Structure 1
Amino acid sequence: MDPVSYSIPQRALHWGMAALIFFNLLFTEGMEHWHHLVKRGQTVTPDDLASANIHAYVGIAILVLAVVRIGLRLVQGAPQPPAQEPPLLKLVAQATHGLLYVLLFAMPLSGAAAYYFNIGSAGDLHADVLKVVLWLLLGAHIAGALVHQFYWKTNVLARMTRGV
C-alpha cells in the first residue's frame, strides 16, 4: 500500500536538507576564497580554513542525510503522483526527482574529492557543472510544486508540509 503523505521524519529530512543545500549554494565565498589562495600558492589562515570547512561539513551532512533519506524512502515509500498530473509531466517529475537524488550524492562526493584529495577536475565538475544543474533542477522542483498547488490544486505541497 502506498502512503498518502510523507512521514514526519521524511518531511523533516526534506526541509532540513533543503536548508543545508541552499546554505551551501548561497554561501560559497569561504570555499572559493580558500580555493583561490591554494591555487595561487598563498598562505591560508585559520579563518580561511574554518570558512572553507563550514562548506565542507555542510556538504558531508547533506551526504549522510541523503543516505538516511534513501533508507527511509525504501522502508516507508512515497505517495503516488496525483491523477490530475499529465503522464508526460509525471515522467518529468520522476526524472527531476531522480536527478536530484543523484546530485544529493554527486555534489558532496565531488566536493570532497576536490577539497580533501585535491582532485581539480572534481572541483571543476562540482562548481561549474553540477552546481548549475542543481539550481536548474531545484527551480523545476519548486515550479512543479507551485503548479500543483495553484493550477491543479492538488495536495502535493501539503504532503510535504502538513502531511495531508
Structure 2
Amino acid sequence: MPQSATTGYSLLQRFLHWAVALLVFFNLLFPDGMNAWRHIVRRGDTPSAADISAANIHAYLGIAILILAVLRLFLRSFHGVPAHSAEEPKVFQVAARIAHGALYLLIFAMPLSGMAAYYFGVDLAGSIHAGILKAILWTLIGAHIAGALVHQFYWQTNALRRMTIG
C-alpha cells in the first residue's frame, strides 16, 4: 500500500509504536541483568538463579520487541502510513525514510543478535549487540526524537499528534 494511502495512524499502529518504544527503552536503560549474566558466563562461573532470571527478563522483552515489530510491519503493509507533510523539505523526507528503515532494521537486528548470543552462545553477536548496534540505535532514537520535535515546533505539522492521540 502506498505511503499516502492514509491520513493517520490507526489506534493499533500507535499502540504498537509506543509499546515497542517502551520495551526498547527499558532494555537499553536496564541491561544490568544480561550484562551480569554475560560476565559470569565469560569468566566460566555458574550464574545464580537470580542472575538467570534477570537475564531472562532482558531476553524475553527482546523477543516481545521482535514479535511486536513483525506485527507493526504486517499492519503497516495493510494500513499504510501518512504521507510526508508539504512543509518538510525533500531532503528531510529522504532522510526520514532512511532513518525509519534503519530503525526497523535495528529493531530486528538487536533481538536477533541478542538471541544468538544468549541462547546459542555466539559471543561475537553479543559483542556486536551490546556495542555497535546499541550505539547506532541510541543515535537513531535521538534523530527520530529530534525529527519529531522539528515537525512539531519548526514546521508545525501534526506529526506528533498523529502518533499520540490520532
TM-score tier after normalising by the smaller chain length: over 0.9
Using structure 2 for the length normalisation, give the TM-score. 0.97
Residues in 2 aligned to 1:76 and 1:105: alpha-carbon distance in whole angstroms? 21
> Deviating runs (4+, > 6 A) in structure 1?
none
Residues in 2 aligned to 1:96 and 1:42: alpha-carbon distance in whole angstroms? 41
The number of aligned residues is 163
Query: Alignment partner for residue 100 of structure 1, among 95, 100, 103?
Result: 103
1:23 paired residue number:
26
Aligned counterparts, 1:81-96, within 5 A: 81-96=84-99
Q: CA deviation at 1:117?
A: 0.2
Query: Alignment partner for residue 123 of structure 1, among 104, 122, 126?
Result: 126
Q: CA deviation at 1:154?
A: 0.3
2:5 counterpart SS class: coil
Residues in 2 aligned to 1:153 and 1:162: alpha-carbon distance in whole angstroms? 16
Residues in 2 aligned to 1:162 and 1:36: alpha-carbon distance in whole angstroms? 43
Using structure 1 for the length normalisation, give the TM-score. 0.98
Aligned counterparts, 1:4-153, within 5 A: 4-153=7-156
Q: In the TM superposition, what whole-angstrom CA distance separates every residue of 1:39-70 from its partner, at most 9, and x where no partner exists?
A: 00112100000000000000000000011000
Identity %, equivalent residues: 58
The one-letter code matched in structure 2 to 1:41 is G
- Structure 2 unaligned blocks of 5 or more: none
2:154 counterpart SS class: helix
The one-letter code matched in structure 2 to 1:9 is L
- What's the Cα RMSD here? 0.7
Residues in 2 aligned to 1:2 and 1:86: alpha-carbon distance in whole angstroms? 20
Q: CA deviation at 1:162?
A: 1.1
Residues in 1 aligned to 2:46 and 2:64: alpha-carbon distance in whole angstroms? 28
Residues in 1 aligned to 2:130 and 2:81: alpha-carbon distance in whole angstroms? 31
